Structure 1
Amino acid sequence: MWKVENSTNTQYLIKFESEIILPFFNMISDVVIEIEQGEIILPLEKTDIWKYTEHFRKASVDQKNLFTYIMQKTVSGEKLQDLFYSIVVTFDSSYVEQIYLLYKQQNKEILDGNYDIPQIQVDDIFKSIFVIYYYNTFFADDYVWMTLAGETYNRKEFHRNFKLENKMAVCPYCDVDTAVAGSNNNVEHFLPKSKYPLIAMNPLNLLSSCYACNKADEGKGDRIPEVPIVSPYNENIGDFAKFEVDFLSKKITLINSGRQEHHNYFKFLQLYSRYSDRMVFESVDHEANSLFETLTNSGSPTLKEIDLYIQRREKMNNLSLALRSIISNYPMYKTFK
């Protein structure tokens, strides 16, 4: 629910786009057009036909070595060049252009901050390229990143960059869990890669989140959100999260004080139900009582000092949004001025 930035990781992923994704599209287009114009006769005998494209011939030595490497990368017994071959012998130039334009359109919408994107089915071959090869495999491939950026880059570095840039130790989606340990982090797709594969490598569709937010039974899973929707890249959604506490039933209730897009966000992440869990109350109640004890032992704090104390813990301690919202309901809070 915290507004975040991702400029450091964006630099890496934009490099990936310019050096791998776009040239790959261009090489596909070159071959498909040459087939349609009769310059290449089917059936093709060489699966490395991509080496004869104009884009490959004009590439630098490092770029040629990189493309030779990724094209020969094998996942589940299949090389990327096999998928390239399948595309150029299966689809015509109009379909390839359609996929390319869809890629450009969806990624532009995300970079412009619009997440109300309809799902459009793409062929499984393109889905495999973007999800299995680009995201699952090349995201953490040392050779790829040494060639592109001169250094290694992987999911661990993504998390580190994200946390340091945002000065954050909690999950930006929910504020329920901490995300200090790398083992409690996912590189999470706001719009799921299974439904939107063409934006699987878009830096503003990726966040460092806790595991619960990524799970179908607790968080968003791979569901498509209802629209309109906002993401933590749009605004500080927590500003529209208000909380009520019932001390008798030991329950905290999340209430949307914003617009429909905020309600859809809370529903998408299942935050209404997650905040109503008894353990959330126990955790916030413990923090509230510890706060009063700490501040009382150090003197007679004012209400302003209590509020400042809570603000200083935000983004570094979990459940601070809920704590800030319900603290004034405690009888002890009312004894301070």
Structure 2
Amino acid sequence: MIKVSKKSNKNIMEIFHRKIILLLFKWFQKSSKTVNSITSFDKDKNFTLEEIRILKLIFRKKKLKDHLNKILIFFIEKENFRNQELKRLKKIYFYQRKQLKKGNYNLKVIKIEPIISELFSEYFFKYLFEKKEFWNDFISTEFSKGIFKKNFKIQVCPYCNTEGMFQVENYKIDHFLPKSLFPLLSMYYLNLIPICESCNSFHSGKGNNIIKPIQSQFYQEIGTNIEFYLDLKNNSVHLKSNIEETKNFIDLLKLKNKYEIDIIFKNLKSDLKSFGIELSKGVPERYEEFYSRQIKSFEGRSLYYAKKYLFKDYINKKNLK
């Protein structure tokens, strides 16, 4: 629900894009034989000295080297189609990045060869992303998946706004557009969001599902478009929105289920009661001022949007009496 910063990890992740991903596209294009030893790059005139340094760094990782060699063999065996297929991949890659940069997350799924999907989703995201020593050798900067999460500087789950996120190790990184369907976006910073464990669960989270049209929290503070209601009869909280993208966001992330939990209802009911007691001590002319102070104290914390809506609704109803 909360809006997250687009700048938190942009610079470093864009270096990965330019110096790793685009370099490997070039290597697939230019190379005619697989790599057995990193010394084979020393006499390769297709690459600059800096590119050779990075290629050696990449190919030191045996698992990654083996997979890259498999991809190259795949392209070599389809020599007549190598240029065509690489051109298609790059076109898809740049197109999808461009759309997310424009705030458009309503993309159609395009089939990518499994061996390429695995490179992005498994070897880039799950393997290299975790390696602190890789990042240190690559850009001489301390970086890793943990630091990526920490750089967001958030204390509550951006999806549900119910779970506190105080320990970085408890964060999970989610691909807003699932990497199983959009593997080329596996390392794109505008598709990576730190979330709580519950929202990351296949059963209680969105899993590999997509719903369109939808908005991303990199561009929209979605929580402001949600209405919250206390159901006193069933001891639950109901969510509603008249905006299609927001309704789809609620459905995709199964937020209604998360807010029907008894402890959420009790928490909001108790806070609303306390708010009402304190409000009654003042005069109507000062209600808005008191409301603003109260909401400010909840900003960036769990259930911020629910409290913001419920407290405002309480004042509006009180003013009508």
Q: TM-score range by the shorter chain?
A: 0.7 to 0.9
Pick one of 235, 239, 251 that aligns with 2:224. Answer: 239
Structure 1 equivalent of residue 187 of structure 2? 201
Structure 2 equivalent of residue 210 of structure 1? 196
1:256 aligns with 2:246: no
Pick one of 256, 261, 281 that aligns with 1:277. Answer: 261
Q: Report the Cα distance in structure 2 between the residues aligned to 1:242 and 1:122, rounded to whole angstroms.
A: 39
1:97 aligns with 2:87: yes
Change (3 A) 1:210 1:329: same
* Residue deviations 1:11-58 (CA, integer Å, cap 9, x gap): 110011111000100111113xxxxxxxx5xxx5755698365443x2
* Residue deviations 1:277-320 (CA, integer Å, cap 9, x gap): 32321222233345567x579x7484224422342134432012
* Residue deviations 1:164-222 (CA, integer Å, cap 9, x gap): xxxx3111112111112213311111001111110011111011111122212112112
Q: CA deviation at 1:330?
A: 6.1
Structure 1 equivalent of residue 27 of structure 2? 27
1:71 aligns with 2:59: yes
The 8 Å contact of residues 15 and 148 in structure 1, kept in 2 or not, is answered as no
* Residue deviations 1:123-150 (CA, integer Å, cap 9, x gap): 1111111111111111122233223432
What amino acid does structure 1 have at the position aligned with 2:54? L
Change (3 A) 1:146 1:19: same
Structure 2 equivalent of residue 37 of structure 1? none
Change (3 A) 1:212 1:246: same
Look up the SS of the partner of 1:193 in the other structure: coil
Q: CA deviation at 1:152?
A: 1.3
Look up the SS of the partner of 2:9 in the other structure: helix
Q: Report the Cα distance in structure 2 between the residues aligned to 1:208 and 1:23, rounded to whole angstroms.
A: 28
Which one is further off, 213-222 or 281-290? 281-290
Pick one of 118, 121, 131 that aligns with 1:131. Answer: 121
Q: Report the Cα distance in structure 2 between the residues aligned to 1:157 and 1:253, rounded to whole angstroms.
A: 36
Q: CA deviation at 1:329?
A: 6.3
Q: CA deviation at 1:116?
A: 0.6
Pick one of 82, 91, 106 that aligns with 2:96. Answer: 106
The 8 Å contact of residues 200 and 206 in structure 2, kept in 1 or not, is answered as yes
> How much identity, in percent, do the aligned residues show?
24
Q: Report the Cα distance in structure 2 between the residues aligned to 1:315 and 1:211, rounded to whole angstroms.
A: 22
The 8 Å contact of residues 4 and 233 in structure 1, kept in 2 or not, is answered as yes
Equivalenced residues, count: 312
Unaligned runs of 5+ in 2: none
TM-score, with length taken from structure 1 = 0.83
Change (3 A) 1:118 1:296: closer
What amino acid does structure 1 have at the position aligned with 2:132? D
Structure 2 equivalent of residue 146 of structure 1? 136
Q: CA RMSD in A?
A: 2.7
After superposition, residues 214-233 of structure 1 pair within 5 angstroms as 214-223=200-209, 225-233=210-218
The 8 Å contact of residues 146 and 169 in structure 2, kept in 1 or not, is answered as no
TM-score, with length taken from structure 2 = 0.87
Structure 2 equivalent of residue 15 of structure 1? 15
Q: Report the Cα distance in structure 2 between the residues aligned to 1:110 and 1:181, rounded to whole angstroms.
A: 29
The 8 Å contact of residues 145 and 152 in structure 1, kept in 2 or not, is answered as yes
Change (3 A) 1:306 1:45: closer
Unaligned runs of 5+ in 1: 32-39
1:85 aligns with 2:69: no
1:122 aligns with 2:112: yes
Change (3 A) 1:321 1:94: same
What amino acid does structure 2 have at the position aligned with 1:15? I
Q: Which runs of 4+ in 1 moved over 6 A?
A: none
Q: CA deviation at 1:229?
A: 0.9
Change (3 A) 1:314 1:113: farther
The 8 Å contact of residues 73 and 80 in structure 1, kept in 2 or not, is answered as no
Which one is further off, 184-193 or 302-311? 302-311
1:286 aligns with 2:286: no
Look up the SS of the partner of 1:218 in the other structure: coil
Change (3 A) 1:300 1:46: closer
